[in-house]
Amino acid sequence: MLSGEFQVNSVEETWALARELAKELKPGDVVCLEGDLGAGKTTFTQGLAAALGVPGRVTSPTFCIVQEHKSENVLLVHMDLYRLHGEEDVEAIGWEDYLARGAIFVIEWPERAGSLIPQSARRVEFRHLGEERRLVAIDK
């Protein structure tokens, strides 16, 4: 199981790390992303999506809150919960429906989802080290 701290120095290295995590994901899994604005969360999600065979462009769901990305075999749901206020809000945007559909979740601001985040969730934290360098800590 992928875990530990990894220094990445480019988009390509971030995508390579995301590819490794993607190998472990299955329907219903939740990946929680934490880090400052511009820390690499969307870049990491782009790498996950590419590794899962999702076509098209993956952008941050900051303004739309939820973005669905589909491939032949995978539904990747990318949520930015920053503007939500708790579990009821998260449930109102379709949490249970996405679970029933077997989605893989990528969640930014996961603390807004409270107890909806399962104990089995993977946690990925991003920290700026300067320029393109980031420290990516993957727990679990």
Range in 25-29, 97-101, 129-133 the model is least confident about: 129-133
**What is the pairing mode between strands 133-139 and 104-108?**
unpaired
Residue 31's DSSP bridge partners are 106, 122
Alpha-helical regions (H) of the chain:
11-22, 41-51, 87-92, 95-100
What are the percentages of helix, strand and coil residues in the chain, rounded to 5? 30, 30, 40
Structure pTM? 0.94
Asked if 23 and 97 count as a contact pair (C-beta separation under 8 A), the reply is no
| Residue 3 to residues 16, 40, 71, 108, 122, Cα–Cα distance (Å) | 14, 17, 26, 19, 9
103-134 residue pLDDT tens = 999 999 999 999 999 999 999 999 999 888 99
Q: How high is the mean pLDDT of the chain?
A: 94
Task: Say how far apart CA 117 and CA 114 lie, in whole Å.
Answer: 6
Residue 123's DSSP bridge partners are 32, 139
Find, among 96, 104, 135, 134, the residue nearest to 122 by Cα: 104
**What is the pairing mode between strands 75-80 and 104-108?**
parallel
